[in-house]
């Protein structure tokens, strides 16, 4: 981009958060907030209009589509804007789906304004920016692929943490009960535990899932 401002879409279901982001970003040279969206569906529709360079995307909305699903829908289109996820959630259960969906960057909401602005400029240029905690976990996963939980294993363990039985987990994820048991066996081995309770506690401590 040569001299033209970076055009932003702010997607967050909290009006106060959107107002705060707008207040911070509109003081930044070379940036302009073109639109806001209160739902992920609104963000997808607005991003498709073709006048957005970067979507500042939350991951969790009140209901309906998630931020990761919206990211996938937006990035699937030709000439799509870049997506910079800005959220309070930094666990693997959040970061992996967002990054796999095509997010260019991932920052946490406690990032200082200058880091947010730098992240937007980096995303607009097509480069990746990651919150340090997120980057550390991704590097750990790459270095220790045999011990890192897969996205499916994280999904299974998240439902275990919610108290669901293997049968209900299978129904929700469209898996057989035997496949769920197989995933749990792999999870136990990777985490070095021997029970559902211990697996949930260890995975929570390691940042794989939220409690």
CA of 101: how far to CAs of 7, 72, 79, 170, 207, in Å? 21, 4, 16, 23, 20
- What are 2-44's pLDDT values in tens digits? 578 999 999 999 999 999 999 999 999 999 999 999 999 999 9
Of 84, 116, 140, the residue that ends a domain is 140
Region 45-50: what's the mean pLDDT?
Answer: 94
* Predicted local confidence at residue 34, as pLDDT: 96
CA nearest to 25, candidates 3, 1, 9: 9
Number of domains in the chain: 2
In this structure, the answer to whether residues 106 and 77 fall within a common structural domain is yes
- What are 187-201's pLDDT values in tens digits? 999 888 999 999 999
In this structure, the answer to whether residues 38 and 118 fall within a common structural domain is yes
* Predicted local confidence at residue 60, as pLDDT: 87
Q: What is the CATH classification number for the domain harbouring 68?
A: 3.40.50.2300
The token pair at 97 is 């789906």
Q: Is residue 165 part of a domain?
A: yes
Per the structure, the complete domain to which residue 186 belongs is given by 151-205
Q: What is the CA radius of gyration of the chain?
A: 18
In this structure, the answer to whether residues 23 and 115 fall within a common structural domain is yes
Q: Is residue 210 part of a domain?
A: no
- What are 136-177's pLDDT values in tens digits? 777 776 776 666 788 889 889 999 999 999 999 999 999 999
In this structure, the answer to whether residues 121 and 198 fall within a common structural domain is no
In this structure, the answer to whether residues 136 and 172 fall within a common structural domain is no
In this structure, the answer to whether residues 11 and 90 fall within a common structural domain is yes
* Predicted local confidence at residue 151, as pLDDT: 81
**Residues 209/93, Cβ–Cβ less than 8 Å:** yes
In this structure, the answer to whether residues 132 and 183 fall within a common structural domain is no
């Amino acid at each position: 981009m040569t001299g033209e401002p970076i055009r932003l879409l702010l997607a967050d279901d909290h009006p106060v958060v959107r107002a705060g982001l707008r207040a911070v970003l509109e003081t930044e040279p070379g940036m302009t907030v073109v639109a806001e969206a209160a739902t992920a569906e609104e963000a997808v529709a607005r991003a498709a209009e073709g006048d957005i360079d970067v979507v500042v995307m939350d991951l969790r909305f009140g209901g309906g589509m998630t931020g990761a699903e919206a990211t996938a829908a937006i990035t699937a289109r030709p000439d799509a804007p870049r997506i910079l996820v800005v959220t309070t959630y930094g666990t693997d259960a959040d970061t992996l789906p967002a990054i796999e969906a095509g997010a260019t960057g991932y920052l946490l909401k406690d990032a200082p304004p200058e880091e947010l602005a730098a992240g937007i400029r980096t995303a607009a240029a097509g480069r990746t920016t990651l919150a340090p905690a997120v980057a550390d976990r991704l590097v750990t996963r790459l270095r220790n692929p045999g011990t890192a939980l897969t996205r499916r294993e994280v999904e299974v363990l998240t439902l275990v943490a919610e108290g669901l039985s293997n049968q209900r987990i299978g129904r929700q994820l469209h898996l057989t009960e035997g496949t769920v048991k197989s995933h749990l066996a792999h999870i136990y081995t990777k985490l070095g535990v021997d029970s559902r309770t211990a697996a949930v506690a260890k995975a929570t401590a390691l940042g794989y899932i939220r409690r």
